[in-house]
Amino acid sequence: MLDNVPIIRIYKDGKAKSKSINDRIVAEHALTIKLGKKELVTLLCSPEKLEYLAIGFLCSEGLIKGKEDLKEIVLDENQGVIEIAITDNTSITKDGASKRLIGSSGSRGISPPSLDYHKAESTLTITPVEIFSLIEEFVHRSEVFAATGGVHSAALCDTQHILVFSEDIGRHNAIDKVFGECLFKALPTDDHIVITSGRVSSEIVNKVVKRNIPILISKSAPTNRGIELAADLGITLIGFVRGGRMNLYTNTKRVLYHKP
């Protein structure tokens, strides 16, 4: 969903195309998520897969745990509002919405980082050849949208293929859309891999460990706190997979490479 707008393009040699040029523009959509009638948050996002985004967001915030917690989802796309009713016996973290951590680039989590969940546990292993191959598939799918610039992608994979793929102007949103789709379709995330185009901060690590993801792969750089948290939480963190190389940061035992 891209708009076209008129622009004037000016070149370094002083030439200008003063007739309007239609350029492809990234769409920005505002989605207000209501839990019952209570307004929870307004996300700025790309206008696709809004139901998955809302579900994934609630899940990342610890407000729902599975599809069984969902009673009704009503999306009003024109108003930019989604109302989600959840079952009474859902195990909502009571403090979940009480404190908002507002983070750096891409951050929009409500809940503060917490360690009240288990370490990622899995005997999953992967080879460098499989990682390069997954990234190739990931980049290929991302390129469809790359023309506009500034869009993030995220995917759930097994060691062979991408199973769920989403993109969004926000790197957090892209991951929430993936997890929302998994939750909605009851796809397992245990023993699976997440790929993100964006930087791995502590918040991203917090998000994936909640789904028990053992291996997290990024095309970009991790932060120091992202690395520390991945180390503590048993997540294999692989970053900077580009230009024919990759960096293994933490819990490297899951990557089967030839030690020299």
Binding residues with its own copies: total (CB under 8 A): 80
HSE-CB at 28 with a 13 A cutoff on CA atoms is 7
Judged by CB under 8 A, the residue of 55, 126, 156, 169 near its own copies is 169
Report the alpha-carbon distance of residue 163 to residue 125 in Å, rounded: 17
Q: Which is nearer to its own copies, 173 or 189 (CB)?
A: 173
Judged by CB under 8 A, the residue of 78, 89, 123, 224 near its own copies is 224
Q: Does 34 engage in binding with its own copies (CB under 8 A)?
A: no
Residues from 103 through 162 that contact its own copies (CB under 8 A): 103-110, 112, 128-129, 132, 148-150, 152
Residues from 178 through 217 that contact its own copies (CB under 8 A): 198-199, 201-203
**All residues at 6 or more sequence positions from 8 whose CB lies less than 8 Å from its CB, including other chains:** 16, 17, 18, 20, 21
Q: Which is nearer to its own copies, 51 or 130 (CB)?
A: 130
Q: 202-226: buried (b, 16+ CB within 10 Å) or exposed (e) per residue? A: bbbbbbbbbbbbbbbbbbeebbeeb
Q: Which is nearer to its own copies, 80 or 187 (CB)?
A: 80
SS3 177: helix
Minimum distance from residue 245 beta carbon to its own copies (Å): 5
Residue with tokens 């293929």: 161
Q: Does 253 engage in binding with its own copies (CB under 8 A)?
A: no
Classify residue 255 by its DSSP letter: B
Minimum distance from residue 251 beta carbon to its own copies (Å): 11
Within 10 A of 136 (CB to CB), how many other CB atoms are there? 11
Phi-psi region of 48 (alpha: psi -120 to 50; beta: other; left: phi over 0): beta
Q: Does 171 engage in binding with its own copies (CB under 8 A)?
A: yes
Report the alpha-carbon distance of residue 83 to residue 7 in Å, rounded: 37
Judged by CB under 8 A, the residue of 22, 36, 44, 91 near its own copies is 44
Judged by CB under 8 A, the residue of 90, 223, 232, 234 near its own copies is 223
Minimum distance from residue 183 beta carbon to its own copies (Å): 20
Q: Does 25 engage in binding with its own copies (CB under 8 A)?
A: yes
Q: Which is nearer to its own copies, 170 or 214 (CB)?
A: 170
